[in-house]
């Protein structure tokens, strides 16, 4: 595709439920990043994939958060037992190689009620 | 944790004026990138400046980088109402290319 694609664009879920957010990076980009952004704040790093492997998951807040990229392209961010504090915009980004320009998707707005 | 700090946090100017936003960071970097974000939308990449560069231009944008002071500035010349957005600097600290963002500057350009 022309850009980074994220689905769903909006998700409202009840506290305690499980959520999956999907990211389709720019074709040919080897590096994929997940960020989280709360209102009025800058994006915070969650996890980074190089190919299929998670090269750096130091930003995941706790073990309720998990992400996969099984074939080195599409990635899924999974959140278990959602809490109201998980409400935020989840941004996915990709780059051709680490150290190159990073391009962001439009984000998935998650609201936990 | 955030790496950079943008200054000012908010800036309001008239159309046609120049807007200058500053960014300071703490650790050594591979490159620094500036992004723009309209309310409720994703981040749009504006410009990347590498650690061995001092200045870059792109259209009405001018970015400077001073690695000795660990700071960067973004200048938007002849601003337009459509430039109204939040602007973020982000540093690549040679940790696999991941970016660490500042808190952003909210720019308002009044027609």
Q: Which of B90, B96, B102, B104 to mutate to test the interface with A (most CBs of A within 10 A)?
A: B96
DSSP string, B28-91: --SEEEEEEE-TTS-EEEEEEEETT--EEEETTEEEEEETTTTEEEEEE-S--GGG-EEEEEEE
Q: Which residue of B has its CA nearest to A32?
A: B98
Are B33 and A42 within 8 A, CB to CB?
A: no
Are A42 and B104 within 8 A, CB to CB?
A: yes
Q: Measured between beta carbons, which residues in chain B are less than 8 angstroms from residue A56?
A: 95-96, 98
pLDDT at B3: 59
Q: Which of A9, A23, A37, A43 to mutate to test the interface with B (most CBs of B within 10 A)?
A: A43
pLDDT at A90: 97
Mean pLDDT over each residue of chain B, to the nearest integer: 92
Whole-angstrom distance, CA of residue B29 vs CA of residue A99: 10
Tokens linked to B48 = 């990347």
Can you give the pLDDT of all 113 residues of chain A as single tens digits? 579 999 999 999 999 999 999 999 999 999 999 999 998 899 999 999 999 999 899 999 999 999 999 999 999 999 999 999 999 999 999 999 888 888 999 999 999 99
pLDDT bin (cut points 50, 70, 90) of residue B4 is: low
Q: Answer yes or no: is pLDDT of B110 > 80.
A: yes
Reduced to 3 states (helix: H, G, I; strand: E, B; else coil), residue B94 is: coil
pLDDT in tens, B61-84: 999 999 999 999 999 999 999 999
What is the average pLDDT across B87-91? Answer: 94
Of A31, A30, A22, A33, whose CA–CA distance to A77 is shortest? A22
Q: Cβ contacts of residue A104 below 8 Å, gap of 6+? A: A4, A35, A91, A92, A93, B35, B42, B43, B44, B45
What is the average pLDDT across B26-50? Answer: 91
Would you say A82 and A94 are in contact if contact means Cβ atoms under 8 Å apart?
Answer: no
Q: Answer yes or no: is pLDDT of B94 > 90.
A: no
């Amino acid at each position: 595709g022309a850009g980074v694609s994220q689905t769903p664009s909006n998700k409202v879920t009840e506290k305690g439920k499980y959520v999956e957010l999907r990211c389709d990076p720019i074709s040919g980009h080897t590096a994929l990043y997940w960020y989280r952004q709360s209102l009025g704040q800058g994006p915070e790093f969650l996890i980074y994939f190089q190919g299929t492997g998670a090269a750096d998951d130091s930003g995941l807040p706790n073990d309720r958060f998990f992400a996969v990229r099984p074939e080195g392209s599409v990635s899924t961010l999974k959140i278990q037992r959602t809490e109201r504090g998980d409400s935020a915009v989840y941004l996915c980004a990709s780059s051709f190689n680490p150290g190159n320009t990073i391009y962001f998707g439009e984000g998935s707005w998650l609201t936990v009620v | 944790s955030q790496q950079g700090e943008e200054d000012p946090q908010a800036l309001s100017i008239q159309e046609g004026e120049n807007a200058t936003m500053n960014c300071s960071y703490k650790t050594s970097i591979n490159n620094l990138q500036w992004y723009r974000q309209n309310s409720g939308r994703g981040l749009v990449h504006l410009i990347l400046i590498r650690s061995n560069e001092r200045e870059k231009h792109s259209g009405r944008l001018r970015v400077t980088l001073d690695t000795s002071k660990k700071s960067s500035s973004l200048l938007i010349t002849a601003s337009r109402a459509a430039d109204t957005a939040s602007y973020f600097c982000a540093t690549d600290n040679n940790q696999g290319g991941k970016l660490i963002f500042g808190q952003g500057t909210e720019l308002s350009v009044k027609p």
